[in-house]
Amino acid sequence: MELLTTTSEEIISFFNTAKIISEELKKVQKNYRPLLNDEHYLIGEEVCELLHISSRTLQYYRDDKLLPYIQIQGKILYKESDIINLLEANYQ
């Protein structure tokens, strides 16, 4: 039976690699957007950030039916394609 030996450099390299993998997984988890009926949906904060508007302006867009949305169990979602269509239609 052969005894495995590791150097401290190998251990440090292993933990550095594990840290990098962990950070990448956190990025993927943060940016993951599941599909619902083959469509990406955004929450209000994402729409505000994308359009550079306030949450009150987003509320105004909903009230005036400028931006379509759906509501599921009190959660308001916006189709990504609807946002893109709105931007393209109003691009000057």
5-19 residue pLDDT tens:
767 888 888 889 999
Average pLDDT, the chain: 86
- CATH number for the domain that contains residue 80: 1.10.10
Q: Is residue 75 part of a domain?
A: yes
- The CB-side HSE value for 6 (13 A sphere, CA atoms) comes to 7
What does the alpha-carbon distance between residue 4 and residue 50 come to, in Å, rounded to a whole number?
Answer: 52
Q: Which of 77, 26, 84 is nearest to 50 (CA)?
A: 84
pLDDT-based confidence at residue 33 (cuts at 50, 70, 90): low
Residue span of the structural domain in which 49 resides? 41-89
Query: Is 46 domain-assigned?
Result: yes
- Structural domain contains residue 26: no
Q: Is 10 within a domain?
A: no
The pLDDT tens digits for 34-49 are: 666 778 889 999 999 9
Answer yes or no: is 30 within a domain: no
Position 31 in a domain: no
Domain count for the chain: 1
Q: Is the pLDDT of residue 3 over 70?
A: no
pTM score, whole prediction: 0.60
Contacts of 69 (CB under 8 A, 6+ apart): 62, 76, 77, 78
Q: Looking at the domain assignment, is residue 18 inside a domain?
A: no
